[in-house]
Amino acid sequence: MPQAEDRRVRRTRRNLAEALIGLILQKGYERVTVQDILDRADVGRSTFYAHFRDKEALLLSCFDGLREDLNQQLDATVPTAAPRGQIPAAIFAHAYQHRPVYRALCGRQGGHIVSGHLHTLLTRSLGLGLAPESRLGPASAQVPAAVAAEFYASALLGLLIWWVRQDFPHGPDWMAGTYEALAHPGLRATAEMP
Amino acid sequence: MPQAEDRRVRRTRRNLAEALIGLILQKGYERVTVQDILDRADVGRSTFYAHFRDKEALLLSCFDGLREDLNQQLDATVPTAAPRGQIPAAIFAHAYQHRPVYRALCGRQGGHIVSGHLHTLLTRSLGLGLAPESRLGPASAQVPAAVAAEFYASALLGLLIWWVRQDFPHGPDWMAGTYEALAHPGLRATAEMP
DNA sequence: ACGTTGCCGAACACTGTGTTCGATAATGGG
DNA sequence: CCCATTATCGAACACAGTGTTCGGCAACGT
């Protein structure tokens, strides 16, 4: 039983991923060509296509790496059935830990592909603990859970991307706190009354 | 002095725009080729490039059309220096009026290009009446205006795109109300107390 | 009616994509 | 340590789409 897989495979995939990320930062995802990746990673053309259908598949594999790592981190901090307040903080912390990758995937130069997948991911995560129909927000109106999830996920993703593109001008805790303050002003006012 | 421009020019541009929008709905922006547009619009290749640098330029010209119309509508309803609460409602109303175009530009098939520009537009609009540094939200924490604008703009855009992609399951007023309820739960709770 | 201007259409060079295949060399199990 | 396996290389190829050029024709507005 092999320990994980052929060493050459790991090497190739890692080289390709690193090459792509570096190139995105240099010239932007759209302008990166498969040939660029090949040259930078020093990998043969046929080899590339043996691993990935196209440029986008490679990009998504990078994203998947991050995603797994994030899930692992979430499961670690909160063993089972977590209260959902943890998620935003975990996201910001994770992004801060992996600044270079996030810069490439969510930065100005990154394509919008990853942002889209992140959006889906966040919407699912935030909408997880919500009944299909229920009043939302600390206060009044009857807002369907799906809509609320959409609202909060978009807002969170907006802050995250803004943060990345401004090159992390604040700490992850500050960002998480700010998000909470904007998302649940009522709660915050109560909880932090001097 | 010509009334606007050569009739042929208007015809060509209109045909191209309509062809693009139709094709986006059919096969998605990415898959649309310049040749597709040419065939559908029944316009010569060289003519296309006499008007637009590439596919994206045509797309942006469509977006610009919408944008101007929206601004005009905003200026109409609120003559000068409007309170910013009107903007979300105006956006939802505008989208509802131009459902077909919004479906193409912000729908699942639309590229992410327009969404990006819309995001910029909304962030600017919502951040307009805010001092560079100030406490935000009805309650506590000291949130910079730029961050708050980012938050609200992303949330609004998220709801808008969700709405379009669900094929407008609610009225524009309901959407605007829901947005307000989620964005300013404190205000809502006060304003709508029975 | 006329000068101007936009349109056509076919040809062209060019860039990038994705596939194929035989030869070579690294790998991990026995 | 050896060997069967398997990943990689590299070069060639067909293909799709892009953006440009230019002469002739037709529609336009005045």
In three-state form (DSSP H/G/I as H, E/B as E, the rest C), the secondary structure along A125-182 is HHHCCCCCCCCCCCCCCCCCHHHHHHHHHHHHHHHHHHHHHCCCCCCHHHHHHHHHHH
A107 against A184, higher pLDDT: A107
Q: What is the pLDDT of residue A187?
A: 59
Q: Which of A175-184, B140-149, B177-186 has the lowest mean pLDDT?
A: B140-149
Q: What is the pLDDT of residue A144?
A: 93
Q: Which nucleotide is nearest to B4 (CA to C1')?
A: D29
Question: Exposed, middle or buried, B64 (CB in 10 Å: 0-12/13-18/19+)?
Answer: exposed
A140 touches strand D (CB under 7 A): no
| Token duo for residue A143 | 């807002």
Q: What is the pLDDT of residue B83?
A: 58
What average pLDDT does the segment B142-151 reach?
93
Nearest to B104 by CA among B73, B137, B62, B138: B62
Nearest to A102 by CA among A25, A15, A10, A14: A25
Distance from C-alpha of B112 to C-alpha of B118, rounded to nearest angstrom? 10
Q: What is the pLDDT of residue B76?
A: 75
Nearest to A21 by CA among A62, A51, A50, A66: A62
Distance from C-alpha of B76 to C-alpha of B59, rounded to nearest angstrom? 26
Tokens 């196209």 — which residue? Answer: A54
pLDDT at A37 over 70: yes
Interface of B with A (CB under 8 A): 112-113, 115-116, 119, 136-141, 143, 147-148, 150-155, 157-159, 162, 177-179, 181-182, 184-186, 188-189, 192
Q: Which of A61-70, A135-144, B32-41, B157-166 has the lowest mean pLDDT?
A: A135-144
Return the DSSP state at B192. Answer: T
Distance from C-alpha of A57 to C-alpha of A162, rounded to nearest angstrom? 25
Model confidence band, residue A3 (pLDDT cutoffs 50, 70, 90): low
What average pLDDT does the segment B21-26 reach?
97
What average pLDDT does the segment B35-51 reach?
98
pLDDT at B102 over 80: yes
Q: Which of B35-44, B138-147, B168-177 has the lowest mean pLDDT?
A: B138-147
- The single-letter code of the amino acid at A43 is V
Distance from C-alpha of A147 to C-alpha of A123, rounded to nearest angstrom? 10
Residues 6 or more apart in contact with residue B141 via CB below 8 angstroms: A177, A178, A181, A188, A192, B135
Q: Which nucleotides of C are covered by protein (CB under 7 A)?
A: 5-11, 15-22, 26-29
Contact by Cβ (8 Å): A56, A113: yes
pLDDT at A2 over 50: no
pLDDT at B135 over 50: yes
Model confidence band, residue A78 (pLDDT cutoffs 50, 70, 90): low
What average pLDDT does the segment B120-140 reach?
69
Model confidence band, residue A122 (pLDDT cutoffs 50, 70, 90): very high
Model confidence band, residue A192 (pLDDT cutoffs 50, 70, 90): very low
Q: What is the pLDDT of residue B5?
A: 83
> What are the chain A neighbours of B181 within 8 Å (beta carbons)?
137, 139-141, 143
What average pLDDT does the segment B115-136 reach?
79
Q: Which of A59, A113, A119, A150 to mutate to test the interface with B (most CBs of B within 10 A)?
A: A150
Interface of A with B (CB under 8 A): 112-113, 115-116, 119, 136-141, 143, 147-148, 150-155, 157-159, 162, 177-179, 181-182, 184-186, 188-189, 192
Q: Which of A59-63, A80-84, B152-156 has the lowest mean pLDDT?
A: A80-84
- The single-letter code of the amino acid at A146 is A
The three-state secondary structure class of B104 is helix
Model confidence band, residue A142 (pLDDT cutoffs 50, 70, 90): confident
Q: What is the pLDDT of residue A186?
A: 60
What average pLDDT does the segment A83-89 reach?
80
Distance from C-alpha of A145 to C-alpha of A133, rounded to nearest angstrom? 6
What average pLDDT does the segment B87-104 reach?
96
Distance from C-alpha of B59 to C-alpha of B28, rounded to nearest angstrom? 13
Return the DSSP state at B29. Answer: G
> What are the chain B neighbours of A122 within 8 Å (beta carbons)?
none
Q: What angle do CA B8, B10, B16 make, to 5 degrees?
A: 100
Q: What is the mean pLDDT of chain A?
A: 88
Q: What is the pLDDT of residue B190?
A: 44
Q: What is the mean pLDDT of chain B?
A: 88
What average pLDDT does the segment A136-164 reach?
86
Return the DSSP state at B193. Answer: -
The three-state secondary structure class of B73 is helix
Look at chain B and count its residues. 194
Q: Which of A141-150, B57-66, B87-96 has the lowest mean pLDDT?
A: A141-150
Nearest to B168 by CA among B155, B159, B177: B159
pLDDT at B1 over 60: no
pLDDT at A136 over 60: no
Q: Which of A4-13, A130-139, B102-111 has the lowest mean pLDDT?
A: A130-139
Task: Write the pLDDT tens digit of every residue in A95-105.
Answer: 999 999 999 99
Distance from C-alpha of A129 to C-alpha of A86, rounded to nearest angstrom? 12
Q: What is the pLDDT of residue B52?
A: 98
